[in-house]
Chains A and B, each alone.
Chain A
Amino acid sequence: MSTATQALTDGWVVAQRNLIKIKRVPEVLVFVLISPIMFVLLFAFVFGGAIDPPGSVNYKEWLIAGIFAQTVVFGATFTGAGLAEDMQKGIIDRFRSLPMSSSAVLVGRTTSDVVYNILSLIIMALTGLLVGWRIREGVVDAILGFALLLLFAYAVSWVMAFVGMLVPSVEVINNASFIVIMPLTFVSNAFVPTETFDGALRTIVEWNPVSTLTQASRELFGNTGGFAPTDAWSMQNPVLYTLIWVGVILLVFAPLAVRQYRLTTSK
C-alpha cells in the first residue's frame, strides 16, 4: 500500500471512530444541529428589519449565504477541540504506538468534521427555506456553492488542527478560536453589505476570504438580487480567490499540523 493510500484508509478508520461519538454523545449532535438553526433565526429576525441589502433581494434571502460561511468556519473549532481532547487522553498513546500513518489522526479528524459540516449545512438550508431563502440559479451552481463552503471549511479545519495540538486544553482552543473567528466573520460581508464599510476597513472586508466565500455562495445560489459586487479583484472573482486561499491554507497548514503531531508527545 502506498503512503498516501494508507494515510487515507487509516484516516477513514479514525474518522469512523469520531463519527461514532455523534451517537454516543448526543449533546454534540445537538450542538451541530441547533446552533445553525439559532443563527439563521436570530439574524433573520433581529437584523432582518434593520438592514436593507442593495439590489432587489430581501435581507433574509441575502443573509443565508453569510450564515453558511460563518457556521462552517466556526465548525473548524470543533476540529481543534477534538484534537486537543485526544492529545490529553490515553488514546493518542495507542495511536502513536501503532504502525499506522502518522497523518491518519489528522486526516480522520478533518474528514469527520466534513460530515459534521454537511449535517449542519442541510439543517441550515432547511431552516433557510422556511424563513424565505431560495436557490435561484441552477442545481449545479447550488451544489458548487455548497462544495465551495465545505472545501473552505476543510482548509480551516487544518488550521485549527494545528492550533489544537499547540494549546493545553479544550477550553483554551474554544476561547482562542472565538477571538480569531468572531472578527474574521463579522468584519466581512456575511451580515452587512460591503458598502456599509469605509476606508481601510472596507479593503479588509473586500479581501477577507470569508467575504469572498460569502459572495461566491450568494452568486452561486442566485441571492445577489442582481447587484454587482465592489470593484476589488477579490470580489469580482470570488470563487477563484477563495480557492486560492483554500490551496494556500492546505499547503501551509497540513504539513505544519502533521509535523506538530509527530513532535507532540502526549501529556
Chain B
Amino acid sequence: MAQIAGKVYRVVGPVVEMEEVHSLRILDMVEVGEHHLIGEVVRLKGDHAYVQVYEDTTSVKAGDLVYTEGFPLFAELGPGLIGTIYDGIQRPLQVIQEKEGVFIKRGVHVTALDRQKRWHFVPLAKDGDMLAAGAVIGEVQEAQLIKHKILVPPDAQGKVVWSAREADYTLEEIICKLEHNGQVRELSMFQRWPVRKPRPYKERLPIAEPLITGQRVIDTLFPIGKGGCVAVPGGFGTGKTVIQHQVAKWSDADIVIYVGCGERGNEMTDVLLNFPRLIDPRTQRPLSERTIFIANTSNMPVAAREASIYTGITMAEYYRDMGYNVALMADSTSRWAEALRELSGRLEEMPLEEGFPAYLPSRLAEFYERAGKVTTLQSVTGSISIIAAVSPQGGDFSEPVTSHTKRFIRCFWALDRDLANARHYPSISWIDSYSEYLDDIKDWWHTHIDKQWLELRFAIMELLQKEQRLLQVVKLVGPDVLPPSQRLVLEVCSIFKNAFLQQTSYDKIDTYSSARKQFLMLKAIMYFYRRSDELVRKGISVQEVKETTAHAELMRMKLTYTENDINKLEQLTGTIEESLNTLDF
C-alpha cells in the first residue's frame, strides 16, 4: 500500500522537487500528484528530494502529495514478456491502447504482466530438494520455441517444502515454498528486479562464437561475438535503423530485445507490423515469438526514455539466466545520453563537453558491462550481446557519446555518409570499422565452415586497403595510368563491393545470407582475383577478364543462389575456373 512520502515543492519540466521528505531512499519509485505520475528519486538533500517523472508533469502543483511503496524502479519478470510491446517503464502499450484509446494519456497504471492469464507450469524441483538462488523450479512453454524456466530469485534459497503439481496457474498463484533458516518463502511464477542493478551470475566466460546476423559485411568482415558489444554510429539517413532491424530479424540469437529509445513512431510501427509476419529462417516460426519490444518514441516522456535502456537490459539478463543467447538492440543510445543530459540540466548539475554530465562515461560503461557471456547461477551458459546505435551530432564521430562509447565496446560498425548517398547499403565503412572479436571467433568459423576463412577475410581486407591507396592516385591522374595488375585490384574491389558488401534488405533472397553462403561467395571472388591476376600478368587485359562469364556470374551470385542452392554455389569456383581458362592459351 502506498504511503505518503512528501509534498511537491517545485516543478520544472520532468523534474519535481519534493519537501517534507522523511523515509525516501535514492532510486525509490514514487507517484506524484492526483494522477499518480510515476517517478524515481534521483537526489536527496535535507528534507528535500528530487524526482525525475516518467510522464508529462502538466498541471502538477506545489503542495500535491507524493506517494511511495518503498521500492526502487523494477521490472516484472515472468512468462508473458515475449511478443509484448512495452513503453520505457514496462507498461504494455497494447493494454494501454485497449484502456485509453489511440493516444497515451497520463497516469495509466497497468501491470507489465497479465495477472489473469493461466500458464501451464511443469515442476522440475521435488519436495526436499535444496535450491540455491537461480536454480530451476519448473518451466512454462512461453512461446512455441521458448521454454521459460521459472528460477529461484537471486535473493532467495532453501529447501523445497512444497511445490505445486503440474497444472495451469496464474502468475500470482504460489507454485513453490522454500524454507531457509526457519523462514518459509512463497514463490510465484514471476519476480521483480530493480532495473538499475545487474542480476548476478556465477562467472564471466570468454567469447567464442559469432552472432551470425546473415549480413555479409558484418559476419565476414566485422563480426560480433555472442556476448559482445557493438556500436553502430552514423549520421541521419545512413541506415542505422535498417541495420538494427536486419540484425533483430536475422541474427541467430534465441531472444531479441528491441529497444526503440527516442526514435520514430513510424519505425516502431514498421517493426510491430512486420515481425509477426516474418519467419525466422532457423526455426520457421514468426520472429515476434522470440522478440520483446520496448517503444519509447521521441515524443514520449524523456525520463522514461532514460529508463527504457535499463528495462531492456534487465529483461535480457533474466532470459540469459535461463541459458539463452539474448541480443539487445538499442536504437539509439544517443537519445538515452541526451535524456541524461536533459535531466542533468534540470537538476542544475555542472555540465561538461556539449552539456553532457560528467557521469556520462560511467553510465555508458555500466550499461555495456551488463553484456557478456556467463555461467549463470544455475550453471548453464547464457549470453547478452548489445547492438547499440549511436546518432552522433552532425555525423561527427568525435562527439562525446561516440567517443566515450568507443572505450567500452570492442566492435565498431562506422556508417559512411558517402556510401549511403550512393545508396550503397548497408553503408558500413570497411575503412573505419573494426572488430576485436575476430580472434575469439575464428575457431568457430574454421570448425563449422572452412579452415580458409580467416585467411580469405584478411586477403580481401588487404585488397580493400590497397584499393583505398590506388583510389588516391586515380583521383589525381585517372585510372588509365595504373598498370593492369593494379587496375585488376580496382575491378575486383568493385565486384566485392557490388556483389558482396551491398545487400538489399527488401529482396527476399538477398536479405539473409548464411555463414556458408557468405564464405562460398568470398571464396569465389578471391579465386577469381588470384586466377585473373595470373592471367593479367601473362598479358591478358583487364577488359577481357571483365567480359568473361565468370565476371557476370560473380555479379549475379547473391541473387541467383538461394539458401537451398548452396550446393550449386559450391560449384561456382569450378565454373569460374573454366570460364577464365578460355583466356589462357
- Same complex for A and B? Answer no
On B, residues with C-beta under 8 Å from A are none
